Amino acid sequence: MDLSSALASPSPSYGKAVEAYKKAVTLATAAATYTVLARTMARELLPDEVRDTVRRAASAVRDHILPRRMQRRVKTIHIAQIDDDGIPNRFYSDARAYLGTRVDPHAVDELCLAVHGARWRLSMVPGDTITDVFEGVEFKWTTTRSRRRRGGGDDSDSDSDDESHHEPGSLVLCFDAEHTDLALEKYVPFITATVGEERLRQCAIQIVMNTGSFWHGITHHHPATFDTLAMDPEMKRSLVADLDRFLGRRDYYRRIGKAWKRGYLLYGPPGTGKSSLVAAMANYLRFKLYDLDLSEVQSNSTLQRLLLGMDNRSILVIEDIDCCFTAKSSKEKSDDAGSDSDSDKGPPATEGVTLSGLLNFIDGLWSTSGEQRIIVFTTNYKERLDPALLRPGRMDMHVYMGYCGWDAFKTLARNYFLIDDHPLFPEIQALLAEVEVTPAAVSERLLRSDDAGVALQEVVEFLQEQDKKPQGEASRDGK
């Protein structure tokens, strides 16, 4: 019987075989579908810890039922402190720092302790092993002993020999070979990112200032943070949320084809905390702060050179932006007047920095030549600003820093005396509703004594004085 006729008139046994085959295919398809479905559901519905437990249980069952030869292959990765070219291996120090956070001082008999300034760090003793679990997979780490060696190359335990030197240490990472992709594509980047974030959190921010066309930096720990900043709580919340959104939006900015930058205009009377807010932003984001003094900049081209020399993950701040260009405008006017009478002298030696030059450059080349850039302008007089700066879309967020309200006062009292309540608080609250005083002026009174009662009494008297004064005079003196 040829194939076509067999198909046209199948024999009974052939029909059974086809039926059995169909059933098997249906069952296999269903099983595969359920497996995929179950995996997807597990991914979406089960909390991480439950998923990890299920994964561990599954691998325990597999270990139990699979023949020994089919059981797990162990992948081993060696991480040397110094690589073959003699260059320190960055991942070695990242992994050491990361493992330090995984050492449980209660679970091990021996561990290392290092103190740097006010910080202390634990780490594994050489030769020790710890197991870390990432996405439910076990990663076993072992540190190798770094021994002292004599100049001749023999191992030595002597600590007191000038000729001896340390043999670089190394780490050994072992895991089930089937998780190699997870290890290299997720676990290693996770360690690097975790340690990077921690380092950023701990290091002081760098403030960079300009002299002429050069930046020079100082490393400075400015104490201002969002916790210590006395400002309207709602405004603080939305500003922090805005910064968080900005940080995580690389793909978003790429997708909409815009530069990854954000602009903030901080305005309000002197002494209300605009400079402190800039420092708090830098501390929060761990960004480098570039404090640009425009009076030092002689021309748009110098300005461009300075701006192009900035790093990514930075904040450019120009304080009192209203003054910068008012002064320049009058200079420009006098240059213009001078050039009328002296036209044969050619262009002036310095062409001067203009607001339009600054804005055009910031919107153009500066934005597209870097990533994660923030620009902040501050002013005491928003009403004096050039409308070009206030145009919608120019500065993404306008933040008003106002006089000291009740919430702001409570933040200051907590900063200085760690208190949330005091018998003088109701009187202070009532007075603050009547007078306009700056947080700087209140801070100054709070600093006058270490005794909360005495300092708060100073504040009450100061507020009462301001309350007696005519309105305009009071807010002037309240600064």
Min dist CB 383 to ligand ATP, Å, is 15
Select from 40-48, 266-274, 297-305, 461-469 the region that touches ligand ATP (CB under 6 A): 266-274
Q: Characterize 397-434 residue by residue with b for buried, 16 or more Cβ atoms within 10 angstroms of its Cβ, and e for exposed.
A: bebebbbbbeebbbbbbebbbeeeeeebbebbeebbee
For residues 388 and 426, is the Cβ–Cβ distance under 8 A? no
Lay out the site mask for ligand ATP across 392-411 (x = CB under 6 A, - = otherwise).
---------x----------
For residues 237 and 227, is the Cβ–Cβ distance under 8 A? no
Nearer to ligand ATP, 350 or 415 (CB): 415
Q: Please, which residues have CB within 8 angstroms of residue 171's CB and are 6 or more apart in sequence? A: 78, 79, 92, 95, 96, 99, 141, 142, 143, 144
Tell whether residue 283 is a contact of ligand ATP (CB under 6 A). no
Letter for the amino acid at 114? A
Q: Please, which residues have CB within 8 angstroms of residue 307's CB and are 6 or more apart in sequence? A: 316, 361, 362, 366
Tell whether residue 274 is a contact of ligand ATP (CB under 6 A). yes
Nearer to ligand ATP, 236 or 328 (CB): 236
- Applying the rule CB under 6 A, the residues between 29 and 68 that interact with ligand ATP are none
Q: Which residues pair with 378 in a beta bridge?
A: 266
Nearer to ligand ATP, 217 or 270 (CB): 270
Number of residues that bind ligand ATP (CB under 6 A): 15
Nearer to ligand ATP, 212 or 270 (CB): 270
Select from 6-14, 44-52, 270-278, 416-424 the region that touches ligand ATP (CB under 6 A): 270-278
Q: What is the dihedral of CA 146, 150, 155, 157, to 10 degrees?
A: -70
Tell whether residue 459 is a contact of ligand ATP (CB under 6 A). no
Checking DSSP bridges between strand 205-211 and strand 165-166, what pairing results, if any?
A: unpaired
**d(Cα 402, Cα 409) in Å, to the nearest integer?**
12
Give the helix ranges, DSSP H, for 204-296: 233-247, 250-256, 274-285
Nearer to ligand ATP, 273 or 370 (CB): 273
- Applying the rule CB under 6 A, the residues between 340 and 399 that interact with ligand ATP are 380
Tell whether residue 437 is a contact of ligand ATP (CB under 6 A). no
- Using CB under 6 A, which of 99, 103, 230, 395 touches ligand ATP? 230
Min dist CB 236 to ligand ATP, Å, is 10
φ/ψ (deg, to 5) at 262? -145, 145
Min dist CB 357 to ligand ATP, Å, is 24
Min dist CB 273 to ligand ATP, Å, is 3
Tell whether residue 443 is a contact of ligand ATP (CB under 6 A). yes
Select from 126-134, 209-217, 269-277, 281-289 the region that touches ligand ATP (CB under 6 A): 269-277
Min dist CB 408 to ligand ATP, Å, is 6
Nearer to ligand ATP, 427 or 444 (CB): 444
- Using CB under 6 A, which of 99, 182, 229, 385 touches ligand ATP? 229
**d(Cα 410, Cα 406) in Å, to the nearest integer?**
6
Min dist CB 271 to ligand ATP, Å, is 5
The DSSP 8-state label assigned to residue 207 in this structure reads E
Select from 28-36, 154-162, 236-244, 439-447 the region that touches ligand ATP (CB under 6 A): 439-447
The DSSP 8-state label assigned to residue 383 in this structure reads G
For residues 385 and 329, is the Cβ–Cβ distance under 8 A? no
**d(Cα 440, Cα 475) in Å, to the nearest integer?**
13
- Using CB under 6 A, which of 103, 231, 285, 395 touches ligand ATP? 231
Q: Please, which residues have CB within 8 angstroms of residue 100's CB and are 6 or more apart in sequence? A: 121, 122, 123, 124
Q: CA end-to-end span of the chain, whole Å?
A: 106
For residues 89 and 83, is the Cβ–Cβ distance under 8 A? yes
For residues 374 and 264, is the Cβ–Cβ distance under 8 A? yes
**d(Cα 19, Cα 2) in Å, to the nearest integer?**
20
Report the residue number whose CB is nearest to ligand ATP.
Answer: 273
Nearer to ligand ATP, 134 or 425 (CB): 425
Select from 42-50, 138-146, 185-193, 267-275 the region that touches ligand ATP (CB under 6 A): 267-275
Min dist CB 370 to ligand ATP, Å, is 26
Select from 88-96, 185-193, 268-276, 465-473 the region that touches ligand ATP (CB under 6 A): 268-276
For residues 148 and 167, is the Cβ–Cβ distance under 8 A? yes
Residues that bind ligand ATP (CB under 6 A): 229-231, 270-276, 380, 401, 439-440, 443
